[in-house]
Amino acid sequence: MAVNDAIQAPVVTVDGPSGSGKGTISQILATTLNYHLLDSGALYRLTALAVIKNKLDINDTSAISKAALDLDVVFEPQADGEQRVLLNGEDVGVQLRLDETSAMASKVAAIPEVREALLIRQKQFRQTPGLVADGRDMGTVVFPDAEHKVFLTASPEIRAERRHKQLIEKGVDANISHLLKSIIERDERDRTRTVAPLVPAEGAFVIDSSDLTIDEVVQQILDFIGFSEQ
Ligand SMILES: Nc1ncnc2c1ncn2[C@@H]1O[C@H](COP(=O)(O)OP(=O)(O)O)[C@@H](O)[C@H]1O
Ligand SMILES: Nc1ccn([C@H]2C[C@H](O)[C@@H](COP(=O)(O)OP(=O)(O)O)O2)c(=O)n1
């Protein structure tokens, strides 16, 4: 049997729009299940950062996809479940979350060659004992054979409020109406692009978290995948 035909590690996919809680929920799920974690958005953000730092032209798709292929990135899990992200050895955690990076990330994510360049890198995260994969197309494109697929959503207003609170807590200046506008623009771009648009995967468990706490969302997902703490 070829290596690729071997039984693959289980995957739980968590897709959804910005601020729906994917990152937070995925981190808790990965810790609870003792699985690896893939923050696929970070790969698009890192590519965006490479575009900004190297002043690449947004229309130069071959230079941008080369930057995506060549990313020298290390994800370092921390004791609290957070991940440090090092690009060329530099901790870029704060830069990744800047509004400018977010807007550029959704632009580079619409380039088919960039998505192709990041595909193999994402699949490599699938290792035993299992993987929680957070993004937009985890259940539809990257891990279509995942056992359990979740699609998280929440109203744009709630998502902007959450993002605002999160940025202020991190000491990053933020304006809520500007955040709402950029969330709506990004949603539109992510949903209407021709490659891997943001849509729930077939059979996904769709959760609107607008009126749910983080713990309630986590519990609903653990129930869905049939996990019970011993
Ligand atoms: N159900 C929830 N209720 C309240 N706050 C939440 C909920 N889910 C996530 N948050 C908070 O919202 C912010 C954005 O969540 P995050 O996980 O970064 O979203 P995403 O990865 O989908 O962009 C975080 O500060 C997080 O703690
Ligand atoms: N699997 C993925 C993950 C992210 N993207 C794109 C879409 C988003 O606009 C950017 C950034 O994603 P990220 O998940 O980090 O953003 P949010 O935390 O949801 O605001 O990358 C994607 O197209 N496919």
The response to whether residue 8 sits with its C-beta less than 6 Å from ligand 1 reads no
pLDDT at 25 over 90: yes
Q: Ligand 1 atom closest to Cα of 166? A: 25
pLDDT category of residue 197 using cuts at 50, 70 and 90: confident
Q: Tell me the mean pLDDT in the region 99-118.
A: 93
| DSSP states of 202-225 | TT-EEEE-TT--HHHHHHHHHHHH
Q: Ligand 1 atom closest to Cα of 27? A: 17
Q: Which residue's CA is the closest to the ligand 1 atom numbered 9?
A: 21
Whether residue 16 is annotated as binding a ligand: the answer is yes
pLDDT category of residue 6 using cuts at 50, 70 and 90: low
For helices 112-123 and 61-69, give the axis angle rounded to 10 degrees. Answer: 10
Q: Using omega within 30 degrees of 0 as the cis cutoff, is the peptide bond preceding 129 cis? A: yes
Highest mean predicted confidence (pLDDT) among 3-12, 90-99, 113-122: 113-122
Q: Ligand 1 atom closest to Cα of 24? A: 17
ipTM: 0.97
pLDDT of residue 194: 87
pLDDT at 207 over 90: yes
The response to whether residue 214 sits with its C-beta less than 6 Å from ligand 1 reads yes
pLDDT category of residue 99 using cuts at 50, 70 and 90: confident
Rounded Cα distance between 196 and 177, Å, is 28
Q: Tell me the mean pLDDT in the region 117-142.
A: 96
The response to whether residue 136 sits with its C-beta less than 6 Å from ligand 2 reads yes
Mean per-residue pLDDT of the chain: 92
Domains and CATH numbers, the chain: 10-222 (3.40.50.300)
> Cα of 137 to ligand 2 centre, how many Å?
9
Whether residue 93 is annotated as binding a ligand: the answer is no
Residue to mutate, 26, 96, 158, 162, ligand 1, most ligand atoms under 8 Å from C-beta: 162
Which residue, among 12, 114, 136, has the nearest Cα to 64 in the 3D structure? 114
Q: Which residue's CA is the closest to the ligand 1 atom numbered 27?
A: 24
Whole-structure pTM value? 0.93
Whether residue 41 is annotated as binding a ligand: the answer is no
